Homo-oligomer: A and B are copies of this chain.
Amino acid sequence: MPSKAEQARETRQAILDAAERLFAEHGVGEVSNRQISEAAGQGNHFAVGYHFGTKADLVRAIVRRHASETEQRRTEMLAEIVGSPDLREWVSCLVRPATDRLAAQGGPTWHARFLAQVNTEPALRQTVIEEVVATPSMRANLDGMFRLVPSLPEEVRKERGAMSRLLIVHVLAERERALHEGGATARPTWEATAVGLIDAIVGIWLAPVSIAR
C-alpha cells in the first residue's frame, strides 16, 4: 500500500498534469480549480488549493517542473561551448533545451502550448521570467550571445530579446498543436524545427538596425 506521502505526491502529479493540459487548451484565466480537481480525478474540489495554494502558485509549480530539467541541460550545453566565437552555438543553447525535451517525450505534449498561454498574461509571464529567464544558465547564455552581437541601442536589444522569446514560444506551440490535431508542420521533427529557429534568431540579432522616426 502506498504511504501517505506517496499518495500526496501522486495527487500532486495528477493535478499538475491535468492543470497543464487544461491551461494549454483553454488558457489559464478560463480554467477553474474545480475543473482541474475533477480532471485530476479528485473528488474534493479544494484539492488544488490544498496542494498548491493560489492559481499563480500552481502555474509556478508547472513551470518549475520543466525549468529544472531545462536549466540542467542548458548548463551542460554551455560547458561544451565555453569561449566559442560562433553565435549559432549560443543561440542553440537558448532553443535546444526546449526542443530536446519535447522530442524526448515521444508522445503527446502540452507544455509548449501551456507556455504560450502563460506568456499572454503579464502577471504570469513574470513567473516564467523568474523561473526560466532569470537563472544562472540563462544569464551565462545571454552574456555569451551578446558578446557576439554588434552593439545595439537598449530598446532594440530589449525588442529582439522579446522577439526571440515570442518566436521560440509560438513556433513550438504551433507545432505542438499541429501534431495534436493532425495538421501540417513546416518541419518533420523537433530537431529540424530547432535548426530553423536557430537560423531565424541568429538572423534577427544580426539584422541591421534602421532608425525609427
- The interface size of chain A toward B, counting residues with CB under 8 Å, comes to 47
* CB-based contact B122/A156 at 8 Å: no
Give the complex CA separation of A202 and B186 in angstroms: 20
Most-contacted residue by chain B among A198, A210, A211 (CB, 10 A): A210
Q: Which of chain B's residues have a CB closer than 8 A to the CB of A209?
A: 199
Question: Is chain A's binding surface mostly helix, strand, loop or mixed?
Answer: helix
- Assembly of this chain: how many copies? 2
* CB-based contact B155/A186 at 8 Å: yes
Interface residues of A (CB under 8 A from B): 26-27, 29-30, 88, 116, 120, 122, 155-156, 158-160, 162-163, 166-167, 170-171, 173-174, 177-178, 181, 183, 186-187, 189, 191-192, 195-196, 198-200, 202-213
